[in-house]
Chains A and B, each alone.
Chain A
């Protein structure tokens, strides 16, 4: 609980109806989608306006009260779990206005609580395309996407959230508005602070308005599947496709465990004996699309695919992507707890990584399904477990350590898209350096001398 006087001040800013102090309410803001312990905050505030948001930040700073911004609370790294029971959680889903969509100049301005898929749909209504499509897009907020630098299925060709942030306004700890970037394609005014905010996980500033880039949508697309008897062959096919200078918009991979699980779940006729299944989509100009699709099928065959199929119509295409969408839900049903990791390796190391993950699963006697973005090396080893089984969960934690070690040894990274938060902060130094941590801490200290913005996350204290 928080002292009454301070609560009253929050109420004055945001209105009593937007301040939640009752214990049961606070319990609902103690977790996110990461498999970590909950921490119940002292207060939850849900502002209606950006102006309120700024005043809330300032009030927290004046009182030295730690503040964790929360969008939809779907991040997988503990970024919105309050650092301590004295923290205020500030929910942004009341700040969900799309302020502008500009079809002439190809940009949009949004508040941070706009839901990703709703924004993409609004852009599509104007004939425009917002490519970043995290699996959580139906619920995630754009603010959360920016703060985690969220990726998605289209990362290979279209990039990730950071490639679409043209600029933003954010609050510093004093509640002052900081502006960076612009509505123009070119902008060389001042430090590039909005890039610094991308992936900042709520540690450096609180986003108020974000300027996002939009692009014209592709005119045509074609989806296909290729079945392989070994992960190596699938991986060689991927390398060959890219060596042929074709960049598919999506290039997804399912391992045998995942294929079998999805098939058990949907009975869509997936090849349960296959070691690897590639799901591929190309888009662009119709002529280019059909040429690329032909070439890809040929390359897959040459690299040992036992079966290659192209979707003949929308319905068949839908079926292909249904299989990919089913991967996580189908796996999640096998056991109560699903630990979804996102260790990422250079594309060419996928076979080694898949092999290594299998081995780790064997060593610790765990079920691990692996699927993910073959095109960019971003794999999702998904460990199926039961958190209540403490012995098994201890093995899970060891397995995760090993997975990260393996990814780093292959020149990869801890996180392709889920961020560091609490979950991976202990590995940070391993991937970077001691100097990196110290530099980052100094940076934070400068921006946030009282250490109130999501303290303890990512770089520790």
Chain B
């Protein structure tokens, strides 16, 4: 057990150092560990978190066939022309039945195989509820630490978890294509609510300009609620007056609507400029932007949940946990009291643990 942990820590830090030093194979292997959420990934991410934070994470989402991959390829070209490096994480759905997946986004991004300033990685969604956002944000953290300036995260905007991924980005671009029927697809999928920039792609098709005009009219009426609602800790903080360190939250903004033709590159420089403007508006460079705080909160809460559960299921507490749950089944204990009891057991147990240093310190202080 401990030997495994040490081996994972050793391998994790070796891969992290490799990735930081520009070793692309180490980077790729690390991304596999991150996807599989192994102890190696945890060890590496502990090392890499401090090195990350400079990259601009941009989510690109929209219906299948809207032209996301083609647009990503065009954006890569534009970003490279400006001398910056770019990494892509392209997520495709896994089959819920077999667990297999076809990851076909690279087909449109083949022009950059010889360019060391471009790194493209496909990922299957693997159906883990909520975990997809965590895995792709972790992948982005690794690529960020490895020095990529811009990270493009392509997801199909259909499932809830895919939308969450896009929404976790600093800037979320929602793609629409004019021929996709009368009703704008993004509205059906609830995507416009997470959009910072809306793109009508296939500008060479009839109806593109009209679709853009309709979207602009629609978005004038309803401003994006994203920044107001994204941080699950926001309400509690506001209710209690909030600590001084809480980041200022700018009011919701109306997303820009642009038209592109990904196949020819038309409108792509303007799109990149809009993405850049959005980042400047976020103030990512100045201090913690609300979207980044929301991302941090989501990651930490997810880990905390995992850890609490693991503690409650480990041998020291497994009996108490089982008895408590049984008491709820027998209706002798209500679920609220059960949660309180388990929380109490957890705190008591942490105090007794040699590695429960934080809890120990708190006890001695109080």
Instruction: Judge: A and B partners, yes or no.
Output: no
Residues of A within 8 A of B (CB): none
Residues of B within 8 A of A (CB): none
